[in-house]
Amino acid sequence: MNALVNVFSNSKILLIGLVAAIFIGQSLYIKYISSELENTEQREKKVKEEKESLQLAFDTAVPEYERQLDFERSKAVFETNTLKEKEKVLKATSKVKEEVVKRGEIKDEENSNFTITSF
């Protein structure tokens, strides 16, 4: 009978130890899952903030890009008009110079500015 009591006591101790080990294991697993949940929430929050930041940057960049395109178009039109006006002025200037040289009022020297020789 003593042997039976000893086996029962040992089984009881083993059973209590097994229950304690399961409880500790479950506690550790719950802590791990809780930690992973917090990490996931933090990652989701970070991704959401990055997405909002990128959206804000995009919303700012698009109008700025459109303004830059408008500026470049205006600049191109202005430069084209300026070149046309310069061509007209140069053409008129060369005609005036030719007329004045024909009259002998300007001495035509190469690589020099106009020199008025008579009034």
The ranges assigned to domains in the chain are 2-102
pLDDT tens for each residue of 81-99? 999 988 888 888 888 888 7
Q: Could you give the C-alpha distances from 94 to 42, 54, 85, 87, 111, in angstroms and in order? A: 75, 58, 14, 10, 15
Q: Note if the pTM is more than 0.85.
A: no
* Residues β-bridged to residue 107: 115
Distance between CA 23 and CA 29 in Å, rounded?
A: 10
Distance between CA 101 and CA 104 in Å, rounded?
A: 5
pLDDT tens for each residue of 35-46? 999 999 999 999
